[in-house]
Amino acid sequence: MAKIKYIEHNGKEHVIEVQNGLTVMEGAIQNDIPGIDADCGGSMSCATCHVYVKEGWYDKLPKKEMGEDDMLDQAYEPNSKSRLSCQIMVSDDLDGLSVYMPEKQV
């Protein structure tokens, strides 16, 4: 279980306890957090669950697997702190993680 802070583009914060084994994307979708669309349902095919990981946390996350950066090329305004939230698996180590949502997903 990890407490994850989802921060909307307008600054509104949602702190959610997400079960281990779910992804950061699923934590958002199951709790109706606005700002993450996840059109493809987590198959790394759409780049609509794009988030910016808070400074300090980015390097602590498991590294991107092949293909994630290719998908991020197609995200809205990606930067060096960008991740697809469907590829971040939640574990106890992620307790306190903050992610920022982009202005929009498409």
Partner 1 sequence: MIKTDVVIIGAGPTGLFCAHQLGIIGLKCEIVDNLNKIGGQCIELYPDKPIYDIPAVPECTGEELTNNLIEQIKPFNFNFHLNDRVQELSNKDDNWIVKTTSGKKFQTPNVVIAGGVGSFEPRKFPTKSAEKFDGTTVLYSVKDKTIFKDKSVAIFGGGDSALDWAIELSNSSKVSLIHRRDEFRGAPASVQKIKELSKKNIINLFTKYSIKDVKGSGTLEEMEIKSEEGESKTIKADYVLGFFGLIMQLGPIADWGLNLDKKTIPVNTENFETNKKGIFAIGDICTYPGKLKLILSGFHEGALAARGCFKYARPNEKYRFEFTTASNTIKDRLGVK
- Report which of 59, 67, 51, 65 is spatially closest to residue 99, judged by C-alpha positions: 51
CB of 64 to partner 1, least distance (A): 11
By CB under 8 A, name the one of 69, 93, 95, 96 that touches partner 1: 69
Task: Work out whether 22 is an interface residue with partner 1 (CB under 8 A).
Answer: no
Give whichever of 47 and 101 is closer to partner 1, judged by the CB atom.
47
By CB under 8 A, name the one of 5, 14, 16, 40 that touches partner 1: 40
For residue 93, the SS3 value is helix
Task: Work out whether 33 is an interface residue with partner 1 (CB under 8 A).
Answer: no
3 forms beta bridges with 17
CA distances from 30 to 26, 27, 58, 66, 76 (A): 6, 6, 23, 26, 23
Task: Work out whether 10 is an interface residue with partner 1 (CB under 8 A).
Answer: no
Nearest-angstrom CA–CA distance, 101 and 84: 11
CB of 75 to partner 1, least distance (A): 9
- Rg (C-alpha) for the chain, rounded Å, is 12
Task: Work out whether 78 is an interface residue with partner 1 (CB under 8 A).
Answer: yes
- What residue ranges bind partner 1 (CB under 8 A)? 37, 39-41, 43, 45-48, 69-70, 73-74, 76-80, 103, 106
